[in-house]
Amino acid sequence: MTYEITGTTGLTALLGRPVAHSISPQMHNEAFRLLNLDYRYLAFDVAPKELPLAVAGLKAVQIRGFNLTMPHKTAILPLVDELTDAARLSGAVNTVINEQGRLIGHTTDGIGYMQSAADAGCDIIGKTMTLLGAGGAATAICVQAALDGVSAIHMFKRRNLSWDDCQKFVRRISRETGCQVALYDIADIDALKSCISESAVLTNATNVGMAPDTNRSIVPEEIFFPELIVSDIIYNPRETLLLKQAKSRGCKTFNGLYMLLYQGAASFECWTGQKMPVSAIKDKYFS
């Protein structure tokens, strides 16, 4: 089969704002090419108020599936027909599968994070995690970590209008998975210090430190200690201020680049039924 767009070419996509920086189109299109699959993947910059219209349009043209990135991972929830257990528990969707006009919301962010941790040689199963943030990526990571066997998760977020909903979330995850999840105010530095001190891994799942605002970090540098693993879901820049500070204190670190790879691979399999050729994609786009 020649790699040309035909009358039967299937569409997949990314919806977000911004999306121009994303490497997902290159990653998926190269995987389609390598496997001779008749699909293409495009990135669409969609304003929040336009999301319902965009989803309706994609459904109308029989898109096979699409990804959601910020700020759409929770806004998509009322626009799908069904949720997988992981999406239901996390209250967020990053992958939609179109099954003959029925949109199924799924989340692969947590799968991507846990695989990237394993890829970095970090064994966090049975251990304690401190997780910064409570957005779509953070809740997906929390759910998957709990399902996979992380023993306790300290989640930190701003005490804002979503605080009570997040309290309900952590109680639900604790109840349904057996992992002990607790919520803390991210402004409480004493609580942050205490929780990190008993954790094997600290994960930043906020956008603090993302380009172009790269000179910010949530965690005071003196809190880090050499035995702590520090990860950041941000991959632009590849080394955030948080990771630089952690590395200077002797911590093992990893960024969000491979999380992006593995969550994409999981989405790819949802749409095509085939495994993404991860090694080839990693060598070309993630080295």
Domain containing residue 159: CATH number? 3.40.50.720
- Whether residues 277 and 193 fall in one domain: no
- Answer whether residue 287 shows pLDDT above 90: no
244 plus 272 within the same structural domain: no
Tell me: do 86 and 114 sit in the same domain: no
Computed from CA positions of residues 210, 214, 220, 222, in that sequence, does the dihedral angle turn out positive or negative?
Answer: positive
| Residue 2 falls inside a structural domain | no
78 domain residue, yes or no:
yes
156 and 35 co-located in one domain: no
CATH code of the domain containing 100 = 3.40.50.10860
Query: Do the strands 95-99 and 65-68 form a parallel or antiparallel pair, or are they unpaired?
Result: antiparallel
The residues assigned a catalytic role are: 73
Same domain, 152 and 23: no
Regarding whether 239 and 153 lie in a shared domain, the answer is: yes
Helical pair 257-272 and 24-34, crossing angle rounded to 10 deg:
50
Of 227, 282, 220, which is closest to residue 30 (Cα–Cα)?
282
98 in a structural domain:
yes
Domain contains 196? yes
Q: What sign results for the dihedral spanned by CA atoms 193, 180, 126, 143?
A: negative
In this predicted structure, what is the pLDDT of residue 254?
97
The answer as to whether 5 is a domain residue is: no
pLDDT at 63 over 60: yes
Tokens 């790879």 belong to 261
Instruction: Tally helices (H) and strands (E) across the chain.
Output: 10, 12
Q: Closest by alpha carbon to 252, among 197, 196, 198, 201?
A: 201
pLDDT, tens only, 176-186: 999 999 999 99
Predicted confidence (pLDDT) per residue in 70-106, tens digit: 899 999 999 999 999 899 999 889 999 999 999 999 9
Mean pLDDT, the chain, whole residue set: 95
94 falls within a domain: yes
* Domain annotation covers residue 157: yes
Residue 71: CB atoms within 10 A of its CB come to: 15
**Lookup: tokens for 211:** 């380009």
Do 125 and 91 belong to one domain?
Answer: no
179-217 pLDDT, tens digit per residue, is 999 999 999 999 999 999 999 999 999 999 998 899 999
In terms of DSSP H, where are the helices of the chain?
24-34, 51-60, 85-90, 109-119, 136-148, 163-177, 189-197, 241-248, 257-272, 278-285
Amino acid (one-letter) located at 168: K
Query: Do you find a cis peptide bond into 18, omega within 30 degrees of 0?
Result: yes
When pLDDT is cut at 50, 70 and 90, the band that residue 1 belongs to is very low
Q: What would the pLDDT profile of 96-150 be if each residue is shown by its tens digit?
A: 999 999 999 999 999 999 999 999 999 999 999 999 999 888 999 999 999 999 9
Domain that holds residue 226: 110-255
What pTM was estimated for this model as a whole?
Answer: 0.89
Mark whether 28 and 144 lie in a shared domain.
no
| Residue 141 in domain | yes
pLDDT score of 136:
84
Binned at pLDDT 50, 70 and 90, residue 154 comes out as: very high
Q: Which two tokens stand for residue 263?
A: 């969550």
Closest CA to 242 of 196, 184, 188, 203: 203
Joined together, the tokens standing for residue 142 give 């929390």
- pLDDT, residue 2, reads 55
Give the pLDDT score at 99.
97
CB atoms closer than 10 angstroms to residue 259: 30
15 shares its domain with 99: yes
In the chain, the number of structural domains is 2
pLDDT at 61 over 90: yes
- Together in a domain, 132 and 211: yes
CA distance 243 to 269: 31
Q: Are residues 190 and 271 in the same domain?
A: no
Query: Are both 175 and 229 inside the same structural domain?
Result: yes
